[in-house]
Amino acid sequence: MARVSFIGLGIMGSGMVSNLLKSGHQVKIWNRSESKSRELEKLGAEVVATPALLAEGADYFMYCLADDAAISEVITGGHKMAELTKPGTIAIDLSTIDPKTSNVERAIYESRGVEFLDAPVFGTKGEARDGGLWVVVGGKEEIYQKALEVLNPISATTHYMGDGGSGTKMKLVGNLLVASQIVSIGEALALAKKAGLDLRKVLEVAAVADFKTPIYAGVGGAVIAGDYEVNFPLRLMLKDSRLIQEFAERLSSPATIAAITEDLAKDGVDAGYGELNASAIVKVIAQRAGVDLSE
């Protein structure tokens, strides 16, 4: 049993903490909006009043925050958690952020004698709740091996990707694939609707043919049901589409799909869909096409 300090109890972090508790770890939590701590307190987490109180007596310091600005506010600046974390603790960042930000974190931790893993996750609300995430990890391999005691309870599989920053890079590579699938099922459904096809039959084919993916089935089914309940907020998809482009630009690699995704996601956020699921990108595509995809 390990002592875990955890920050960031949003859609993803709250599921992660519940699974850490279920697996017998002792978990202390802090969240900017305190109300989100209360359900986890009922499950056995200890709520602390300030992030600094998480620095003492932790084997692991884990966090799943929204974006680079939140990391700056809580970890590298603002609350200065990277500086306060004690040597001997293993810090694990589960957020999706710019690899450059991850390097800044690592440099501070290393200067303090704290081991650090960048460990962003694939999967969404359901996988976080069920301990079924797919975690991609960068850092020292022996630290990854040790940290499996806290990564296994939140995940279906873990993947050691290589040196520091490799997890964050893999996350952006993977989210490029996610973005392409959401955009392509949206454009395909809009085109099919305009062409007079039955969308249920289109999805039946998409569920079995050699281009099938869980995203086509999941997003496609939800869109025709008019269901945009949030798992992965559109505002975070907009953030990720920008991160992918900046990352690709630094490596002189094309990221045209990320640019298209940003254009669609920005229109969606401007239209007030930022707190809907990222599949609201399809709403924007349907509006541009002048069709209604819901049954």
Tell me which residues touch ligand NAP (CB under 6 A).
8-13, 31-33, 36, 64-67, 69-70, 73-74, 95-96, 121, 124-125, 231-232, 236
Q: What angle do CA 19, 118, 173 make, to 5 degrees?
A: 100
CB-based closest residue to ligand NAP: 10
Distances in whole angstroms, Cα of residue 104 to Cα of each of 83, 101, 120, 140, 183: 12, 5, 16, 16, 32
Q: Which is nearer to ligand NAP, 10 or 131 (CB)?
A: 10
**Distance of closest approach, residue 67 Cβ to ligand NAP, in angstroms:** 6
Q: Which residues, 6+ apart, have CB-to-CB distance to 262 below 8 Å?
A: 238, 241, 242, 245
**Distance of closest approach, residue 31 Cβ to ligand NAP, in angstroms:** 5
Q: Sort strands 121-122 and 133-138 into parallel, antiparallel or unpaired.
A: antiparallel
Q: Which is nearer to ligand NAP, 72 or 287 (CB)?
A: 72
Residues linked to residue 137 through DSSP beta bridges, in sequence order: 160
Q: Which is nearer to ligand NAP, 89 or 277 (CB)?
A: 277
Q: Which is nearer to ligand NAP, 153 or 167 (CB)?
A: 167
Distances in whole angstroms, Cα of residue 155 to Cα of each of 60, 143, 264, 269: 17, 17, 31, 30
**Distance of closest approach, residue 226 Cβ to ligand NAP, in angstroms:** 20
Decide if 215 contacts 124 (C-beta within 8 A): no
**Distance of closest approach, residue 12 Cβ to ligand NAP, in angstroms:** 3
Q: Which is nearer to ligand NAP, 60 or 232 (CB)?
A: 232
| Phi/psi of residue 198, nearest 5 degrees | -80, 115
**Distance of closest approach, residue 3 Cβ to ligand NAP, in angstroms:** 21
